[in-house]
């Protein structure tokens, strides 16, 4: 094949791979986000804005802040968190979210699986890097 064309074909494959990897990482982040929310809430109740800011403080966890709200609503519907309205010193009342016993149980079982999984991935990826 004509070299520039070969180069373009190679670049195309590379960009497709990067795009696939981005999609995979986005899916993984989405999947674990709920456990990060449960973990934060197990330290104490928080309202939406506060929770979103705490998640956003850690790099790589949240891409757009608004997407946390559908998640909170879903977790509440599934009984993993509950909420209550509390008066605020500035502005209107705020909806505070707390983790439930079911939420704590879900978090615990996820956390132990996650550590196993993380160690396994580390084992293989670090071995190849060494």
Partner 1 sequence: MSSTDRLVSDYLDRLESELSGIPRAGRREVMDGIEAHVEEAVAELEPEDEAGVRNVLDRVGDPAEIAAEARERFGVRQPRTTWREIGALILLPFGGFLVPVIGWFAGVVLLWVSDAWNTRDKVIGTLVLRAGLPPLLPALIPGE
**Contacting partner 1 (CB under 8 A), which of 67, 109, 112, 125?**
67
- Phi, psi for 59 (deg, rounded to 5): -60, 135
Nearest partner of 49 among 13, 78, 102, 92, judged by Cα: 92
- Residue closer to partner 1 by CB (options 37, 99) is 37
**Contacting partner 1 (CB under 8 A), which of 66, 101, 123, 126?**
66
65 is a site residue for partner 1 (CB under 8 A): yes
- Phi, psi for 97 (deg, rounded to 5): -105, 135
Cα 56 to its chain centre, rounded Å, is 10
Which residues in the chain belong to E strands, given as ranges? 46-47, 81-86, 94-99
24 is a site residue for partner 1 (CB under 8 A): no
92 is a site residue for partner 1 (CB under 8 A): yes
Contact segment (CB under 8 A) with partner 1 among 7-15, 88-96, 107-115, 118-126 equals 88-96
Which residues of this chain interact with partner 1, rule CB under 8 A? 30, 47-49, 52, 63-67, 69-74, 76-77, 90-92, 94-95
């Amino acid at each position: 094949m004509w070299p520039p064309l070969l180069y373009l074909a190679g670049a195309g494959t590379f960009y497709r791979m990067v795009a696939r990897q981005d999609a995979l990482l986005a899916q993984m982040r989405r999947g674990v986000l709920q456990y990060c929310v449960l973990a934060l809430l197990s330290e104490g109740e928080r309202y939406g804005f506060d929770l979103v800011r705490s998640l956003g403080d850690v790099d790589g966890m949240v891409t757009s802040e608004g997407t946390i709200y559908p998640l909170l609503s879903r977790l509440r519907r599934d009984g993993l968190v509950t909420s209550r309205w509390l008066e605020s010193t500035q502005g209107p009342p705020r909806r505070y979210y707390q983790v439930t016993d079911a939420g704590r149980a879900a978090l615990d079982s996820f956390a132990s699986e996650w550590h196993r999984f993380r160690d396994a991935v580390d084992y293989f990826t670090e071995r190849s890097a060494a």
